[in-house]
Amino acid sequence: MDNGVIVRRASLEDYNAVLDINRHVYFGLDYLPSQYADMAQDPDFTLYVCEYEGRVIAFEAVCEINGGQTLMMRSARVHEEYQGQGLLMKLRKQIEKDFTGHPVVNSFACSLTANTKYRENVSFRARNKLILERALFYHSFNIQEVLEKTTVRSQTKQISSQDFCDLFQNKSLMKYLFPWDRVAINSWHLRPIAENIRHIDRQKPVIFISQDLEEGQGFLTIGLVIRVPAGISLHLEIYGSGDDSELEKHLYSHVLALKGLSSDNVHLLTYCDMTLESSVIFRLYERLELHVMDNPFKSLQFFEEDFHPS
């Protein structure tokens, strides 16, 4: 098989072939079907596939972030019949070849879920530095039921992506919100710098802040609404600290923003840095009868390695 594998650039026309690699990845919560077209047409993205006997059997995208200094690896997929045969390494070698000589690239970045065995690989760990880890809680809910059960009303303030990036100038606030010097959003990890506003804005985030956030208290939450095969997924990214009643205001605000969008159940994926006590999430979920569901993801780990093409 090795000699028959072709690595080539992918395009918008490869949409169906790429999704056919694994249509059931992430148990119906895969973001790729709704974001592939944007990735294929975004100048900061380069898409690759492995092809064997005319069939697309592996895929990975790479995006230039942090002002072009970092290559973020995205959406790796390998057909189940061909896993364990080094296809992602073939893609990586092609990426390294294509970006050799790039004037500013100095690192690779990636994220791996808890169910990814590769993140415990010895050679991978030797090359990659663990940047941060995020906990992930999962539940499905009905929008109207959550709004009826919520006991507090929102006292949060919605801000734009530009307003969010303006906060990057406040160093003490950045240390409070992002002690790891990374903004994690939809399994990306981006440095909190103005050069990344386009990548943040491309996610079409809905952002709320606590009233006293600039005093170093409360939360900043980023909500991403993603169309997935299983319906609608709300990715709720949590930064800061506080009690569950304060966090409930944020959840209420995000759910209220969903009202009228769909009557279907929403798949809620709640992400937070390990700096936030899990008990805050559990208490909020329990009060709203959103019992944490078992899931294979549980956490995300973010890695970075130096870019040294061989």
In CATH terms, are 2-105 and 134-300 the same topology?
Answer: yes
**Fold observed for domain 134-300:** Aminopeptidase (3.40.630)
Q: What CATH number does the domain located at 2-105 have?
A: 3.40.630.30
d(CA 306, CA 271): 27
Which is it for strands 299-306 and 129-141: parallel, antiparallel or unpaired? antiparallel
Helix (H) or strand (E) holding 113, with range, is strand 107-113
pLDDT tens per residue across span 169-203: 999 999 999 999 999 998 899 999 999 999 999 99
Q: Is the pLDDT of residue 168 over 60?
A: yes
- Report which of residues 294 and 9 the model is more confident about: 9
Alpha helices in the chain (DSSP H): 15-19, 32-41, 87-99, 122-127, 143-149, 161-166, 171-177, 197-201, 244-258, 278-287
pLDDT tens per residue across span 227-281: 888 889 999 999 999 999 999 999 999 999 888 776 567 999 999 998 899 999 9
SS3 content of the chain, % helix, strand, coil (to 5): 35, 35, 30
Using alpha carbons, list the distances in angstroms from residue 213 to 166, 218, 221.
Answer: 14, 5, 11
pLDDT at 268: 93
Are the beta carbons of 100 and 309 closer than 8 angstroms?
Answer: yes
Q: Is the pLDDT of residue 2 over 90?
A: no
The pair of structure tokens assigned to 145 is: 């039921």
Q: Where are the domains of the chain?
A: 2-105, 134-300
Alpha helices in 102-221 (DSSP H): 122-127, 143-149, 161-166, 171-177, 197-201
The reported pTM is 0.91
Q: Is the pLDDT of residue 1 over 70?
A: no
DSSP string, 256-298: HHHTTT-SS-EEEEEEEETTS-HHHHHHHHHHTT-PPPP-S--
Give the model's confidence band at 160: pLDDT under 50 very low, under 70 low, under 90 confident, else very high.
Answer: very high
